[in-house]
Homo-oligomer: A and B are copies of this chain.
């Protein structure tokens, strides 16, 4: 009955990241290739970036997530949110394990780290299709990704999250497109603009983006570090 806590077997503890960005009019997920060493689980398979907590280096779960994000992308302060913890006896062949899933939203122009860095060869972007990606993922990462996408899509209905997928300055049509890509459905132009502008989510920077037609006003987020919650969700 009164086994002492410290005598319990300790599970493995890790952090995994679902890092999203927007490239080529599609939502993209950053994947890393697992080492090909056959002694490792899922050798050579694609997986969410992540890894075990290093109790000597990581002050907290979130610090661990930020460290891994920086290692993989070179990005230090994008949108980062914990989705939750998943733990059971079977998800890692090495034993009872718990992982903590974080969503990170980064601008495509900030992703230089993953393409230029030394680990570039072991990294790729995969377009999101439905509730997953094409390549089969290691461990239970397909399940984690599904949870991340559900959380992301749910919050897009009533927050400004897709703004974090864009560069620092952007046009309202670009912002609308980012919402539409995440949601997977078209939005009404007029309603979208009213919603965004009346929420005071953005402010004009006084410049325009030229194109092959009428140029669009450029805006930036008023508060780069806090998501905006809209008074009403988008639709039923």
Q: Which residues of A contact B (CB under 8 A)?
A: 5-6, 8-13, 51-56, 58-61, 63, 82-89, 94-96, 98, 100, 158, 231-233, 236
Docked complex Cα distance between A10 and B224 (Å): 35
Other A-B contacts than A10-B11, A13-B87, A83-B84, 4 sampled, CB-CB below 8 A, are A5-B94, A9-B55, A13-B98, A82-B85
Whether B52 contacts A8 by the Cβ 8 Å rule is: yes
Least distance between A38 CB and chain B CB atoms (Å): 14
Least distance between A87 CB and chain B CB atoms (Å): 4
Q: What's the number of copies of this chain in the assembled complex?
A: 2
Whether B11 contacts A96 by the Cβ 8 Å rule is: no
Pick the contact of A8: B9, B53, B100 (CB < 8 A).
Answer: B53
Whether B10 contacts A12 by the Cβ 8 Å rule is: yes
The residues of B that contact A95 with a CB separation of less than 8 Å are 55
Docked complex Cα distance between A11 and B231 (Å): 40
Pick the contact of A233: B55, B61, B88, B232 (CB < 8 A).
Answer: B232
Docked complex Cα distance between A11 and B95 (Å): 14
Docked complex Cα distance between A96 and B5 (Å): 13
Pick the contact of A82: B51, B58, B61, B84 (CB < 8 A).
Answer: B84
Docked complex Cα distance between A90 and B83 (Å): 22
Least distance between A193 CB and chain B CB atoms (Å): 20
Docked complex Cα distance between A63 and B96 (Å): 13
Give 8 closest A-B pairs by Cβ, nearest first.
Answer: A60-B88, A85-B85, A10-B10, A55-B96, A61-B87, A231-B236, A9-B55, A5-B52
22 A-B Cβ contacts within 8 A?
A5-B12, A5-B51, A5-B52, A6-B94, A8-B53, A8-B54, A8-B55, A9-B55, A9-B56, A10-B13, A11-B53, A13-B13, A55-B96, A60-B87, A61-B88, A63-B88, A82-B85, A84-B84, A84-B85, A231-B233, A231-B236, A232-B232
Whether B231 contacts A61 by the Cβ 8 Å rule is: no
Whether A89 contacts B61 by the Cβ 8 Å rule is: no
Most buried by B among A63, A83, A95, A96: A96
The residues of B that contact A58 with a CB separation of less than 8 Å are 89
